[in-house]
Amino acid sequence: MDNNQGMMSCAIGTWAVALLAGVLAAVLLMVLGGWSFMQAAFIGAVLFVVAGALISFILCRPLPPIGTATIGTAEEETPASKPAAAKPAAASAPAVTEAEVKPSKPLPGQEDLAARKGEWKYEGEAATPAPAKKPPAKKAPAKSAAPASAAEGPGTKPETLSAARDGGPDDLKQIKGVGPKLEALLHSMGFYHFDQVGNWGADEVAWVDQNLQGFKGRVSRDNWVEQAKILAEGGTTEFSSKVKKGGVY
C-alpha cells in the first residue's frame, strides 16, 4: 500500500514538473522567439508529454525486491549453463604420421607427375594432376570520355550577342538571384539585356540552367524569365527597386 502511494505521489510530482516545463517553453517561444500562440502551445504540449513520460519512467518505476539480483545470478551459474567438456578423442583411431602419408618413392607410371608436383598419392590410388591455371582475363580498354565542350547538357542554347548594344548592358543584378559574379558570367556567355532573358523558352532555360558553372539551376529556381520580361518593358519589381536604391549590393 505504501509503495503504491509513493509511486502515485512520484507520478503526480513528475507530471507537474513536466507541465511547468511545457508552459515555460511555450512562454519563452512566444516572448523571445516571436512564435504564435498555437505554435508555442503545440511545442509546449509535446514537451509536456515527452518530459512527463521520460521522468516518470526514470524516477517512478518500482525497484526490484531485495535479493532478486542475487538469486538470478546464482541461477545463471548452474552447472547446466557451463559448456560441456570436450569428449576425448576415440582411442581406437591411430595417429597418422607424415612418413605414412608419403611413400618413399613414386608409383609406377607417375614419375612425371611426381617430378612436376613434388609429391604423389598413396599406393594403388589414381593420380590426379592439378588443374591448369587459367590465364588472367584481359581487361577491355577503357572508353575515352567525350570532350567537355561537346556535352553541354539538355535544352537549346539561346541566341547570344558578341557585345552589349549601343546603350550598354542592362543592370542584370536587378533580377533576383543575379549577383555581381553571376552578372559577369552571363556577360561572358553573351547575355547582356533583359529582353534576351525574357525571351527564353523552356528549352533555353534548361540549357542555361545546365551551363551556369557554379550556379546551376538558378534560372528556373529564381524565376528569371518573368522578372526579365517586366524589366524589359520598363517596369519594376520589388527586388529591382531595392537594387536601384543601393540597399542590396
Domain presence at residue 74: no
- Supply the pTM of this predicted model: 0.40
Within-domain flag for 199: yes
Higher pLDDT, 129 or 13: 13
Q: What is the pLDDT of residues 29-47, one digit of tens each?
A: 888 888 888 888 888 788 8
Torsions phi, psi of 86, nearest 5?
A: -65, 135
Q: Where is pLDDT greater, at 51 or 111?
A: 51
Query: Taking phi first (over 0 means left), then psi (-120 to 50 degrees means alpha), and beta for anything else, what does residue 107 get?
Result: beta
Q: Please say whether the dihedral angle defined by the alpha carbons of residues 54, 60, 65 and 66, taken in this order, is positive or negative.
A: positive
Domain boundary among 22, 37, 59: 59
How many domains is the chain built from?
A: 2
Q: Where are the alpha helices (DSSP H) in 66-132?
A: 68-76, 98-101, 111-117
What gap in Å lies between CA 51 and CA 187, rounded to an integer? 58
Tell me whether residue 76 is in a domain: no
Domain contains 40: yes
What residues make up the domain containing 219? 172-244
Structural domain contains residue 17: yes
CA–CA gap between residue 17 and residue 44 (Å, rounded): 13
Per the listing, cell 570520355 goes with 145
Last residue of a domain, which of 59, 86, 104?
59
Where does the pLDDT of residue 191 fall: very low under 50, low under 70, confident under 90, or very high at 90 and above?
A: very high
For the chain, percent of residues with pLDDT exceeding 90: 31
Q: How many CA atoms are closer than 13 Å to the CA of 147, on its beta-carbon side?
A: 2
Is 108 part of a structural domain of the chain?
Answer: no
Structural domain contains residue 132: no
Last residue within a domain, chosen from 59, 77, 98: 59
DSSP string for residues in 185-203: HHHHHT--SHHHHHT--HH
Question: Are 158 and 197 within 8 A, CB to CB?
Answer: no
Distance CA 161, CA 143 (A): 37
167 within a domain of the structure (yes/no)? no
Q: What is the pLDDT of residue 249?
A: 75
pLDDT in tens, 89-147: 444 445 545 444 455 555 555 555 545 555 444 444 454 555 566 666 655 444 433 33
Burial class (CB in 10 A: 0-12, 13-18, 19+), 78: exposed
